[in-house]
Each structure stands twice: as structure tokens, then as C-alpha cells.
Amino acid sequence: MKRKSPIRRKKKTAAKNKTRRKNNKKKLILPYLRILLLLFLAFIVYVIYLDFEVRSQFDGKRWSVPARVYARPLELYVGKPLSYEQFNFELKTSGYRLDQDNIKTGHYQKNGNSYRVVIREFDFWDGHQPPRYVEVKFEDGFISNVTDFRDQADIAVVRLEPAIIGRIYPSHREDRLLVKLSDVPEYLTAALLATEDRQFYSHYGINPKAILRAMIANFKAGAVVQGGSTLTQQLVKNFFLTKEKSLVRKFNEAIMAILLEVHYEKHDILEAYLNEIYLGQDKKRAIHGFGLASRFYFDKPIYNLELSEITTLIAMVKGPSYYDPWKHKKRILNRRNIVIALMAEQGSITPYQASLAKEKPLNVVKRSKQITSVYPAYMDLLRRQLQQDYKKEDLTSEGLQIFSTFDPYVQKITEQTVKLQIKQLDKQYNLSGKLQSAVIVTNTNNADVLAVVGDKQPTYAGFNRALDALRPIGSLIKPAVYLTALQQKNKYSLTTLIEDKNITLKAQDGNLWSPRNYSGESHGVVPLFKALISSYNQATVRLGLALGFESIVTTLRNLGVDRDIPPYPSMLLGAVTMSPLEVTQMYQTLSAEGFITPLHTIRKVLTAKGEPLKHYPVKIKQGVDETSVRIINSALHEVTRHGTANSLQWRLPKGLKVSGKTGTTNDTRDSWFAGFSGEHLIVTWLGTDDNQSTGLTGSSGALPIWSEIMKKIRTRPFSFANDDELEYYYVESEKGLLVNDNCSTAAYLAFRKNIHPEDYGSCLQ
């Protein structure tokens, strides 16, 4: 056995010790290495996660843009009935400004009976309308002339672009108008880069030099005076992160900025920044992006901004409320001039351009009263109709353009009338503030809903009585009963004699029911029309029994009433409950001579880019033959001459013929009036939410409001229809006999040629 020398042994021991030490060291370092490795792995995973976040959000839909709801555009053409007052109102509603010295887009001038307007360009559903230089002349409440004031050429028809009447917001209420980088003036990007990020095109998301410079500056000042964030970082901050200030957030911001730069082109990032940036506040609405800011502050599309306006917007990037151009003029002006100076310094503009721009005033438009849904009842109806075709998310995020049937002028008149009259009536009838009202105005020709009021405080967005108050309709049902009779062509005419006397029936609850007339008296044998125009209950019940409930329910259905109506005797006097909207649908069919068109608020829906998404075509269906409806309408006209609504003879101007029906329910709990001219249908309801007796009948409550609205909106009178099957006669109201046309108490009524009065009677005094 060989023995090892002691030296060798020593050496070996030393080596062993060394390895042991090494191993010990390893043992000490290894856990750290492992931790480091784990940390590194975690970091990688985290970066991958952030990368996923960045890409999925940036690639997907970047912004939710609320749907915009437009009023109907005002058509201007020779012969249109339009008053100065209304035209003025329409111009203001669409955001036009009076400027007698200088006429430019969005402005108008007034000179005697003529207006000059430069109408803004607008993309309608049927095409683009370029800016129009229009002179409109008025004569006796009509447009007498529409010309182009530059070349005096006649204009056949032109539209004022519609006002935005509301937006359908997502919960955060951010609003923006998306712009493409190619639409943005070069000066704007130049100014932005000059002030916010000079190295934008050369850095990789973060700019260490800028950070260092900012740190030194901040250290020297002892406070945060300068930021070193790049535009990419600012975008990341606004786009992905919360507003809290922490190191973790700064860290995330830097990583995400680099990731964004790795995946996307500079122009994508810049474009996103231009659309994301917060630039002001309009009450609850947050103004985001330069596209909307340009409209909001200067009432111009972004590509029309001037240098001084561009630099004002850039000045606001630093803090839109601190540099609010309406509140802090001096402050923003100074900041704007710094931006201009920076641009000149960078060579983006010449010193001459800079000095010219610095001379310019701020030029922001007067703070317009931009409307954020001040028409809650109408918008409610519109939203419900939209939800039949669209998901809620699409409405709040896709930037849809919704063209409605809303008429701002009719709405204004309706609101004013309701507010004023409800206050007076409430006081007069001691209702201690409880009296409520709902009004709907539509166009009889096409069932466009023009105005809706659902509360005595029309801008209060609470319970919408126009849609949701289900109330007994009282005598408003009677035209359906009488129309059922008139459809029996050979049996009934408006002068057929019927009985108005006591009657007792078994009601659905088994109890006996003896309807009474409003006056308490029975009238014996009366012509059919008299029972209708004076709203006799007993005659109506007797007639209804003869006709059969089912046939009356069928008539109601043919008039467009969808609700299930139980065929009980009390139905004949309007124990049926309906909402004002349902009543409007029923009378809409009467006003359209038997043709049913569903009431609608939407004309067209376009995508954000202006592509038609959904067309809402004219829909009509004949529900009842026009001849029968023309006959009943002649009687409803008589209601307003010699019937329960005869006060309209003095309430309305002479010549404004209308037709309608009053409705009052038990103990005067509901006061209704539904009626129409040749162009407008108005339904008014009055009552209290707790169903209290008000003391108001249809003619003392709902009627005055109805007539005030009808008087103030421009409308065409109701006219008698001539038709091969019809003849018109003057008749007296006792026996329904013919009288001369000079008899002032005579009713002028329509009859079928085969069934009409033949004998003459005497004029009643």
C-alpha cells in the first residue's frame, strides 16, 4: 500500500478546505440566485401579462363613443310655414351665432325680413350636404324666398343640420369625436410634439434623458416642476392605468410604454393620443380628444382650425380646468403664446407666423348651452324603441348616429304650456302641488313623435307618465264605439236615432251597474252624433250593447290598440286603462283616416362613419276603411263646435279647424283631451299620481293645455275629405233633420251616399 506524502496530504487538505468554502459560499449564494431567478421569471410573466393587456386593449375597440341623437333637420323651402320666432329658435338650437359684421360658417345675419345663414356641412343619411350660403326671406309667416346669397341662385330645398338633443352614454360619460391622423393639421402635431415630447420620433417609449433632466430640475426646485413622460407614457397612463401616483404605477407605465412602442407604429400611438387626451368638461360630460375639443371650443371641424386655435388647444393639454379658456383668459393666453414660441424655436413655424398668431384673440365660441338630455321623456321613448333593435353596449359605445323625429320647437311650446298651466290649475283647484300631466304631440301624416312631456317639470327625469301612467281613458273610448256602428254601412249613420235613458246591467263582479250621464239627466231619443259630441253615457252603453263588445274590441284593435281589453260593459265608458302613448296610437289612426302607422321616434340609424345601419321605412296598414273614419272625424270636429269641447271656438283662432274628444273619469280623477288638426295630433292627460279626485273635467283641465299648444305650433287645419262615397249635410241635433247652411246651431256632417237624412227640420235656437 502506497502511503501519501505529508506535503501532498497538506495540499489535499487545503484543496478540500477550499472546495468546502466554495461549497459554503455556493450554499450561501444559491438561494439568492434562485430568488433572483424566480423574480426574473415572475418579471417575465408579468411583462407577458402586460403585453397581453396592452395588445388586447389597443388592438380591440379603443374607445366607447356614446350614440348621438339628433333632432329632425329643419327643411327650408319656398312656401314652408315658418315664423321668424321659430327660425330664430331653430338657429340657436343648432348652435348658430348672430354676427352682423362677419358671416362665416355657423353664423347668421338678420336684415329686416331676411336672414343670411352659412349652414355647416353635414353628412345626412342620404348624402353629404356641403356648407351652404343661404338667404331666407319671410312673408306673412311663410318662407317666400330661398337663395344662395353668393350667386343669387334659387335653392329648391335645403336642410339646417339637426341639433344634437341627447347622447346615450356609457357609465363614465366620456364623449369624443374620433379623428384620423390624416385629418389633423400638421401644426397641431408639431405643436404637441414641441411642447410635450420633442424626441417622440426617436425614443422607444421612454426617454431616460428627459427623465434625468426632470429629476434634476425637480431636485433643484424641491418639488415636482417638470415631467419626463413621453407622449407614449402619457397615453399609457390615461389609457390603461388609474390616476394614483405610485412607484408601481410608474414602473408599469414605463414597461407598457416600451411594449406599445414595440408593437405599434409611431403614427398609431400619436393618433390614439390625439383621441384619448382629456380636454375639458361640459357639466357631466367629459370632453376627450382633439376632434371633439375643436367642436366644443371653436365650433369647427379639426381640419379648419387656425394656428392660434391649435396652440390654444395644445396649451390646455397641461390642465384643461387650470387653463379653462372661459374662466382663465389671461392664463391660457400666456400659455398659448409659450406654445407658439416653442413652435417657432423648433422651426415648425416662422417668427413672422408666430408673431401673427400671438396677436390673435382666443377666439373661443361663447359657451353654448350644449344639451345633455334635457328631454328625458322623449329620450326615454326613443331609448325603448332603440332597445328593440340594439344592445345597450352598442348604444353606449359604438358612436351610432341616431336621427330622430324630435321637433325642438314643438317640444319647447309643449313644455312651456304644461309648466305654466299646471301651476295655475293646481292652485285654482287646491291640489297642493299634486297635479301632474303628460302630453304627446305627433304628426298625423306619418306618426312621427314630435314632443313628449311626462312630468309637470318636463326636464325632471323621473316617472314618465306619457309612457307608464296607466289610467282609465273615460270617454276617449267612445269614438271606437260609434265607429263600430258606422262601419255597418247600411244600418247606421250619424243621424240614426238612439236612446239615452236609464239602463241597468250586471257588471263583471256580479253587481248591478247603472251608468249615469255626467249631468245626471237622460236625454231620451237623440241622433247618434249628438250622443257622441255631448258624450252621453247611457246612449253609448245602449249602442255598445246592440253592437256587441267583441266588435268594439275589434275596432279598437284595428285602431292600433294592442292591449288586451276585457269585454265588459264598463269598457264602453272607458274603464279600460291605457297610457297616454297608447291613446295617442289610437287617435293617430283616426287622424290618419283609418291607416295605422306605429308611432315612432327613429328615422335612421347610421354608424359612426356615416354608413346606414338601419332604415326605418314608412309602415302603414289600413285598419279601418277611410270612409267610416271620415264620417266619425266629421262628428269629432262637431265636438269642438257644439259638443263638450265647444270652448275651442274661442280658444283657437278662427279658421283653425280641429277634431277631438274630451275624457273625464269617475270623480274627476283623470282629465283627458285627444284631438288633431290636419297636421298635428296632441293627447293631454291631467291627474294626480295617487289617483285623487281633481275637480277637473276633460274640458276644464286637459283641453286648455291642448288648445294652447295647438294654437302656438304652426299647423294646418283639419279639413273635410271629399270622397266618392261621401256627402255632407247640415243637420240639427234634436232629430237629425236637414237644415239650411245659415243655421248657426247646425252640425256639418259626413254621410254615406246611401244612408243620410232626407227630411227637413227647423233650425234650433
Partner 1 sequence: MKKSKLFILRVFLLVSLLPLIACQAPKEKDVVWTSDTGEVRPGPKTGKAVLALLHKSRQASTAGSLSTAESHLERALRIEPQNPTLWLYMAKLRLYAAKSNEAINLAKKALALSSRAENLSRTSRDSLQADCWRVIAHAHQKMGNLKKAQKAQDKAKSLSY
Of 502, 420, 447, 349, give the one whose Cα is nearest residue 709. 420
One residue of 371, 507, 721, 763 binding partner 1 per CB under 8 A? 721
CB nearer to partner 1: give 80 or 651: 80
How far from chain centre, in Å, is Cα 137? 30
- How far apart are alpha carbons 6 and 137 in whole angstroms? 125
How many chain residues are in contact with partner 1, going by CB under 8 A? Answer: 33
- How far apart are alpha carbons 299 and 310 in whole angstroms? 13
Give min distance, CB of 727 to partner 1, in A.
Answer: 13
Could you give the string, one character per residue 438-477, with x where binding to partner 1 holds by CB under 8 A and - elsewhere?
-----x-xx-------------------------------
Specify the DSSP class assigned to residue 145: E
Please check whether residue 320 is in contact with residue 314, taking contact to mean a CB–CB distance below 8 angstroms: no
The CA-based dihedral angle spanning residues 347, 353, 357, 359, taken in that order and rounded to the nearest 10 degrees: 130
Give min distance, CB of 605 to partner 1, in A.
Answer: 13
The two counts, helices (H) then strands (E), for the chain are: 23, 32
Cα–Cα distance list, 703 to 160, 434, 440, 708, 762 (Å): 34, 19, 13, 9, 32
Could you give the string, one character per residue 97-136, with x where binding to partner 1 holds by CB under 8 A and - elsewhere?
----------------------------xxx---------
User: Look-up: residue for cell 267610416?
Assistant: 628
595 binds partner 1 (CB under 8 A): yes
Annotation says 475 is catalytic: yes
Give min distance, CB of 485 to partner 1, in A.
Answer: 21
One residue of 7, 28, 153, 156 binding partner 1 per CB under 8 A? 156
593 binds partner 1 (CB under 8 A): yes
CB nearer to partner 1: give 60 or 127: 127
Q: Which of 90, 196, 415, 708 is catalytic?
A: 196
Please check whether residue 274 is in contact with residue 184, taking contact to mean a CB–CB distance below 8 angstroms: yes
Q: Which of 373, 475, 677, 707 is catalytic?
A: 475
User: Residue 145 class from Cβ within 10 Å (0-12 exposed, 13-18 middle, 19+ buried)?
Assistant: middle
One residue of 45, 157, 216, 420 binding partner 1 per CB under 8 A? 157
Specify the DSSP class assigned to residue 701: I
The number of CA neighbours under 13 Å toward the Cβ of 513 is: 18
81 binds partner 1 (CB under 8 A): no
For 38, other C-beta atoms within 10 Å of its C-beta total 10
Give min distance, CB of 695 to partner 1, in A.
Answer: 40
CB nearer to partner 1: give 114 or 446: 446
Could you give the string, one character per residue 598-627, with x where binding to partner 1 holds by CB under 8 A and - elsewhere?
-----xx-------x--x-xxxxxx---x-
Give min distance, CB of 136 to partner 1, in A.
Answer: 13
In sequence order, the β-bridge partners of residue 498 are 526
Annotation says 196 is catalytic: yes
Could you give the string, one character per residue 479-518, with x where binding to partner 1 holds by CB under 8 A and - elsewhere?
----------------------------------------
The length of the chain, given as a count of residues: 765
DSSP letters spanning 60-107: S----B-EEEEPPPEEE-TT-B--HHHHHHHHHHTT-EE-SS---TTE
Give min distance, CB of 412 to partner 1, in A.
Answer: 20
One residue of 51, 63, 78, 261 binding partner 1 per CB under 8 A? 78
Rg (CA), the chain: 37
Give min distance, CB of 156 to partner 1, in A.
Answer: 3
Could you give the string, one character per residue 23-62, with x where binding to partner 1 holds by CB under 8 A and - elsewhere?
----------------------------------------
User: Look-up: residue for cell 326615454?
Assistant: 380
The number of CA neighbours under 13 Å toward the Cβ of 422 is: 26
* Catalytically active residues, by annotation: 196, 475
Interface residues with partner 1 (CB under 8 A) are: 75, 77-80, 125-127, 154, 156-157, 443, 445-446, 593-595, 603-604, 612, 615, 617-622, 626, 719, 721-724
